[in-house]
Structure 1
Amino acid sequence: MSQALAVPQEHDRFPYSPIVDRPPLHLPNGARVAVWVIPNVEHFYFDRPSSSLISSTTNLAPDVLNYAWRDYGVRVGIWRLMEVMQKYGVKGTVALNSDATQHYPRIIEAGTQLGWEWMGHGKTNSILLPQHSPEEERKHIFSVVETITKSTGKAPRGWLGPALSESLHTLDYLAEAGIQYVADWVNDEQPYPMRVKTGQMLSVPYALELNDFGAFLVHGQSGEGFARTIIDQFDTLYEDGAKTGRVMAIALHPFLIGHPHRSKHFAQALAHITSRKDVWMTTGGEIADWYNKTVLNR
C-alpha cells in the first residue's frame, strides 16, 4: 500500500530553461531532427480493468472484451508494426513491462534480432509506481531492471513509467538502479539533465500528443489523421531544427497502431520522414549517449 507523503509545491529536479536562451544544439552529422519511435510492449492482469475501447464492460471481472482487445497487440499488432518499421530502417526503443519478457519471449527474440533497444516500463501496466510504498517501489524498480537484463542480455538504460507515473522517489531509485535516462517528463524538445541523489539522470523528450493512445482513444483520430499529425509535427520540427536541433518522439501501442486500418497510414508517415535528408533516426540510448558526451561532456 502507498504511504501518503507531503508533495512540495515546487519540484527540485531541474531549473526553468527557455529553449530560446540555450546555445544551438548540433545533432550528429548535421541532422535537424532526431526521431525515436517507442513501441509499448505491455502485459495486463486478467482480473482488473485497464485501457479500454468499450466502457460498458469495464466494471466486470474479468473484462474479456477489453482484455482481448489489448491482447491483440502482442499476438498480432506488434508483428505488423515490426514489419513496417523494418521496411523503413527504423529501430524501436521498446517501453517494456518486465512481465512481458516472461509471457511473450517471442517478441523479445524478434526485437533483439532487429536491434531494438529495451527500456524499462515497470512490471505491468496494471500497477502504477505511486501505488507502492517507497520500500516497495525501490524493490519493484530493481526487480524490473534485473528481469529485463536477464531476459534480453542487456541492462535497460532508459525508463518510461507505466502511465508516465512517478512518486517523489522514483528518479532517485532509477538512478540507483543504473537507469540513465527517463521519458516521463513531456515538457521539452531537447534533452536536459535532472537532479538525483546519486548518479546521473537525463530527460529525453517523449510524447503525449504524438501518441496513438491519446490520439485514438481520447481525441478520436483516425489512422489517417494520426499520420497527418506525425507529418505536420515532423515538418515543423525540421524547420525549427535548422536553428537548433530538436528531438521528436513517436509513442505507439501495438493494440492500437497495429491494426491494418491504422498501420498503413503510419507507414506513410515513416516514408515521409525517412525520405528527408538531415534526419537522425535513432534510439533513446543513442540520444542519451550523444547528449552526455557532446553537451554535458561526461
Structure 2
Amino acid sequence: MNSLPLLPKHNRYDYVPLTERKDYSWPGGKRLAFTITTNVECFAFGAGLGHDPAKTGEPQTHRNYSWRDYGNRIGIWRFFELFDELGIPVGHNVNSLLYEYAPQVMTAIRNRGDEFVAHGRTNAENLRGMWQADEQRIIQEVVDTFIKHEGVAPKGWMGAGAYETSFTPDLLKEAGFQYLMDWPMDDQPIWIKTRSGPILSIPYPIELNDSQVIIHRKQDATDFCDMIVDQFDEMIEQCIAHPLVMNISIHPYVFGQPFRLRNLRLALKHCLNHPNIDRVWVTKPSDISDYCYSLPPGIIPGSY
C-alpha cells in the first residue's frame, strides 16, 4: 500500500512540548512576563491595504482611512495617558513612515522611554509575494529610518499584518534584528532557525489581539477585556510550573475609542492589582529578548 505523501514542512523550529522544556525564571524570580504592544500604523489614502470598519474586502475610501487615522490623532494619546496612569512601560509596533506623518507620536514614545518595535514602512503594504532583494531593501530602509531618528536600530520586528515570505527571518537576522513576533505558536520565547544563525521569537497574540476580536470576529469590548482578565488569571497560576509570556496587542484606532478604553482600564487594573502580582514582570519585549540572550544555551527551546 502506498504511503501518504509527507505534509509540507518548515525548518524554522522543532517540536518541543512544554512538558519537556527546561525551567527558568524571569529577573527577580518572576514567573510571568507581562507586556503590552500597541500597533501604531499609517496608511495610504484611497490605495493599498487596510481594514474597513463595516466589512472585510471593502475598497479604500476616505471613510475607512479616517477611521484608522483616529488612532493617530486621538487614540494613541489616550493610550499614553492610560499607561502613565498605570505606570507601565510599553512596546510600540510602529510603521517607519510615522516619522513623516505623525512625528509627535514618535517623540512621545521616545519621551516615555518605551520601545520602538519595527512594524514595516506602512500597513498599506505587506511583504507577501516580494522578491528577496525587494524585501531586503524595504527591511533595510526601515532600519535606516529608525537609526536616523533614534540613533540606534530597533531590536525587534513585527511584520505588517504579521506576514512573511520564506526569506523574512533570514533577512531580519542579517539586518541585525534580535527578535521577531510574527510566529504565534507559543507562550514562551523560542529560537527560530535562520541561514545566518538563530533569531528569537517572542510570543505575540493572534487571540488576545483587539483587531482580531473586534474587527474580524465582531465581538465587543467587554469580550476582549474579559479575555485579558481570564488569560491573566489562568497564566498567573500556570506560570508556577512554567515561565510564561502574556502579550496584549491593542490598536489605537480600536481600543483608543472612549467606550472601549474604560473597559481596558478596568481589565489592566485587575491584572496589575492581582494578589499574586509578585510573580509578574511588567516589561517590554526587548527586555524579554535581552534576558533570553543572557541565558545559557540549552535553556530556551531551539538553543544548543
Hey, what does 1:282 align to over in structure 2? 283
Cα pair 1:211 1:250 within 8 Å, conserved: yes
Hey, what does 1:4 align to over in structure 2? none
Cα pair 2:12 2:192 within 8 Å, conserved: yes
Comparing 18-27 with 227-236, greater Cα deviation is found at: 18-27
1:189 aligned residue (187, 190, 194): 187
- Superposed CA offset, 1:187-207 (max 9, x none): 000001111122440000000
Over 3 Å counting, the alpha-carbon distance change for 1:274 and 1:296 in structure 2 is: farther
Opposite residue 115 of structure 1, the aligned amino acid is G
Does the residue aligned with 2:92 lie in a helix, a strand or coil?
Answer: strand
Cα pair 1:212 1:252 within 8 Å, conserved: yes
Give 1:130 deviation, angstroms.
Answer: 1.6
Hey, what does 1:41 align to over in structure 2? 40
Superposition map of 1:1-298 within 5 A: 9-48=8-47, 49-55=49-55, 58-59=58-59, 63-275=61-273, 276-296=277-297
How many correspondences in the alignment?
289
Over 3 Å counting, the alpha-carbon distance change for 1:171 and 1:56 in structure 2 is: closer
Opposite residue 50 of structure 1, the aligned amino acid is G
Structure 1 stretches of 4+ moved >3 Å:
295-298
Does the residue aligned with 1:10 lie in a helix, a strand or coil?
Answer: coil
Over 3 Å counting, the alpha-carbon distance change for 1:64 and 1:39 in structure 2 is: same
Does the residue aligned with 2:128 lie in a helix, a strand or coil?
Answer: helix
Q: For the residues of structure 1 that align with 2:128 and 2:221, how far apart are their CA atoms?
A: 33
Q: For the residues of structure 1 that align with 2:296 and 2:111, how far apart are their CA atoms?
A: 31
Cα pair 1:120 1:144 within 8 Å, conserved: yes
TM-score (norm 2): 0.91
TM-score (norm 1): 0.93
Cα pair 1:57 1:65 within 8 Å, conserved: no
**Aligned-CA RMSD value:** 1.7
Opposite residue 39 of structure 1, the aligned amino acid is T
Q: For the residues of structure 2 that align with 1:194 and 1:296, how far apart are their CA atoms?
A: 14
Q: For the residues of structure 1 that align with 2:55 and 2:13, how far apart are their CA atoms?
A: 39
Unpaired runs of 5+ residues, structure 2, are 1-6
Q: For the residues of structure 2 that align with 1:82 and 1:71, how far apart are their CA atoms?
A: 16
Does the residue aligned with 1:277 lie in a helix, a strand or coil?
Answer: helix
Give 1:35 deviation, angstroms.
Answer: 0.9
Hey, what does 1:3 align to over in structure 2? none
Identity over aligned pairs, percent: 34
Give 1:118 deviation, angstroms.
Answer: 0.5
Does the residue aligned with 2:97 lie in a helix, a strand or coil?
Answer: helix
Comparing 85-94 with 203-212, greater Cα deviation is found at: 85-94
Q: For the residues of structure 2 that align with 1:295 and 1:220, how far apart are their CA atoms?
A: 44
Give 1:25 deviation, angstroms.
Answer: 2.7
Comparing 49-58 with 274-283, greater Cα deviation is found at: 49-58
Opposite residue 55 of structure 2, the aligned amino acid is S
Cα pair 1:57 1:63 within 8 Å, conserved: no
Give 1:269 deviation, angstroms.
Answer: 1.4
Comparing 142-151 with 248-257, greater Cα deviation is found at: 142-151
Does the residue aligned with 1:254 lie in a helix, a strand or coil?
Answer: coil
Give 1:251 deviation, angstroms.
Answer: 0.5
Opposite residue 85 of structure 2, the aligned amino acid is K
- Superposed CA offset, 1:20-76 (max 9, x none): 1112231221222101111111110013251110239933xx501111000000000
